[in-house]
Amino acid sequence: MRVLITGGAGFIGSHVAEVVRDAGHSAVLLDSLLPQAHPSGEVPAGLDGAEFVRGDVRDPDVLGRVLRGVDVVCHQAAMVGHGVDPSDAPDYAGINDLGTAVVLAAMYEHGITRLVLASSMVVYGEGRYHCGAHGTVTPGQRRVEDLDAGRFEPGCPRCGEPLEPGLVPEDAPLDPRSTYAATKLAQEHLSSAWARQTGATVWALRYHNVYGPRMPKDTPYAGVASIFRSALERGEAPRVMEDGEQRRDFVHVTDVARANLAALTTPGTAGTCRPVNICSGTPHTVGEMAAALAGAMGGPAPEVVGGARPGDVRHVVADPARARAELGFAAGVSFEDGMVEFAKAPLRG
């Protein structure tokens, strides 16, 4: 099998390239080396055995060259992270959504009907919550005055009472709350429309909080694990927003790569875009993650600073059942082992 991996030199894409190679398949990697993810502009090491092409997914001519002989596309290329402010919106929409549209058009022209799409848990907005009186509910955006007063937990949208967070299944309501989140959902919609029009198959892998070797260092586009580790390397305490009790699902990048290989080699249903949570299914708080890294690095204890960024959500932990049932995937790296390894893993400067 020959696989095109867009964003193949990136954090996740490079790990996907390794598992594809180790499974005996061939890969061509397309990457523009965006400065937000590749500040040095250098191609990372560890991509032996794969063909690398520097180019933009929005360039039909480049895609025409790299798609020759390809059986399946693994579309990882994206601008990720919270970003700086809304002025980032044209870049996010251009790279993520226009880029996906150009990829899909080129795949159609080359008769390629299998796609694995890197999506994200950010499409959910808040996670799943249960109210004792009203059952499963979806809270609205938290009010600024509540956040300023240190009231971080969302209440029931019907009665205002406290809620119990639970695991988010793939059929939960979708409510993107940032520019990045909106573009990831748009990628899913574009891929779904393409699948219906062509009879193609799409696995949309909704990654949860991915961490591990080759994460970009502390930038506005980096994940929170990288931001905390960069602070500890400077001898500073990780600064944890809110009260540190916000729950997330941290999943190691090598597990995410294995999930991609499973999707690349598992037939989907023609004419569908099937979303799948790629996660551990085990909740940990952001404060726990900061403390685990600080302990592994012998650094100062985390500092809880309160506040919240616009669009931040309180709890998102995924249900892993569909990935297990349909892709045969379950995360294998424990939170404890993964954080110890990540404390010493090389990051991308």
Q: CA-CA distance, 202 to 204, in Å (whole number)?
A: 6
Residue 265 phi/psi, 5-degree rounding, is -110, 5
The token duo for 80 is 């990720």
Q: Can you tell me which residue has the tokens 């055995």?
A: 49
> Which residues carry out catalysis?
180
CB 155 within 8 A of CB 139: yes
The token duo for 326 is 């349909």
CA-closest candidate to residue 170, choices 128, 114, 115:
128
Q: What DSSP assignment string belongs to 146-175? A: HHHTT--SPBPTTT--B-EEEEEPTTSPP-
Residue 96 phi/psi, 5-degree rounding, is -80, -50
Q: How far is CA 47 from CA 20, 44, 50, 89, 288, in A?
A: 11, 7, 6, 31, 33
The token duo for 222 is 């980096």
CA dihedral 304, 307, 312, 318 (to 10 degrees): 30
Paired sense of beta strands 72-75 and 135-137, if any? unpaired
Burial of 128 (0-12, 13-18, 19+ CB in 10 A): buried
| Exposure of 175 in the CB half-sphere (CA atoms within 13 A) | 16
CB 46 within 8 A of CB 29: no
Q: CA-CA distance, 34 to 79, in Å (whole number)?
A: 8
